[in-house]
Amino acid sequence: MTEQKTRKARKNNMAYTNSSLVSYTNLSPNHSGQRTHSIDRITPHCVVGQLTAESICGCFTSPSREASCNYGIGKDGKIALCVEEKNRSWCSSSSANDQRAVTIECASDLNAPYAMTTAVYNSLVKLCTDICKRNGKKKLLWLEDKNKTLNYSPKSDEMVLTVHRWFANKSCPGDWLYSRLGDLASKVTVALGGSSSDSAGSVLYRVRKSWSDAKSQKGAFNNLDNAKKCADSNAGYSVFDESGKVVYTGKQTGSGSSTGSFLVQVTATDLNIRKGPGTNYAKTGKYTGKGVFTITEVKSGTGSTAGWGKLKSGAGWISLDYAKRL
């Protein structure tokens, strides 16, 4: 047998299992068959609606839907199986990601920041822990940066978190869950027998109005520069280390906005332009396209961690999550 055939045989004989935490199964026809890559990623999503596990599965029963997920977590924490782990779901707007990721749709609020119930979050921690265990992983990593993550080659005992917003112009999994992915990775890694530092290799920097005001938290970041950017985009916010010490105070002092022009580079062809700073504002129906653009004002708003930038052209506002400052 040739080496190529040997590798193919090994791939086709991968031993995939499904989670024993599942209490409801309704398999979707929407998938690409067996994966072409071993599982080394988990991609949690917000389903945008406080749905039951049964309803989440029901969203994907029609072939015309052309979408699916491996698991769904209902508003009460109940876990459903929609596509077996051995098969690639249609969930993340990226074939390459879905081939190697277990995708999980989580019940959430209808509006930004798409908050989830405690029951949903606790079940997500348990399900991610179970997925890691069954696939021989000892730690779950949240590297935070898109390019760093997608260019990272996980070690054999590592699982990596990815998010839908990296592959499409969407806010999924919502800022509520996005800001907790560092915590999710830490909790899962500890449950697997590791230490919280193994989930990223550094401390978490939290962006809040004050250390005692946990509900005001905008995010928890492994990268201090990213935490600073978040604080700069939200008036009255500071960056705190894990001991509660202020390590940076945001530059904004007004009502959540800052002025001063700067250039950004957009590489996406379909970055939406909105009529105001947030996903709660209507789309103008136009896109920026690829290029370099001048931003004249930044405001905090729903659906963007880095804030919203006002285009000098007057066309509207864009999410700075998808733009690189030059």
Q: 173 preceded by cis ω (within 30°)?
A: yes
User: Which fold would CATH assign to domain 15-199?
Assistant: Lysozyme-like (3.40.80)
Give counts: helices (H), strands (E), the chain. Answer: 8, 20
φ/ψ region of 37 (left if φ > 0, alpha if ψ in -120 to 50, else beta) reads: beta
Q: What is the pLDDT of residue 14?
A: 60
Say yes or no to pLDDT of 7 above 50. Answer: no
Q: How confident is the model at residue 196 (pLDDT cuts 50, 70, 90)?
A: low
Q: Which residue has the higher pLDDT, 38 or 229?
A: 38
Q: What is the pLDDT of residue 10?
A: 40
Please give the CATH number for the structural domain made up of 258-325. Answer: 2.30.30
Question: For the chain, which residues make up each domain, given as ranges?
Answer: 15-199, 205-249, 258-325
> How many degrees, rounded to 5, is the angle at CA 107 between CA 27 and CA 168?
85
Whether 92 contacts 33, CB under 8 Å: no
Q: What is the pLDDT of residue 5?
A: 39
| CB-count burial class (<10 Å; 0-12, 13-18, 19+) for 120 | buried
CA distance 326 to 312: 15
* pLDDT single digits (tens) 133-152: 999 999 999 998 899 899 99
Task: Identify the three-state secondary structure at position 244.
Answer: coil
* pLDDT single digits (tens) 13-67: 468 999 999 999 999 999 999 999 999 999 999 999 999 999 999 999 999 999 9
Q: What is the pLDDT of residue 300?
A: 77
Q: What is the pLDDT of residue 4?
A: 45
pTM confidence score: 0.65
Q: Whole-number mean pLDDT of the chain?
A: 87
Which of 116, 108, 109, 186 is closest to 144 using CA atoms? 186
Say yes or no to pLDDT of 73 above 50. Answer: yes
Q: How confident is the model at residue 326 (pLDDT cuts 50, 70, 90)?
A: confident
Q: What is the pLDDT of residue 260?
A: 65
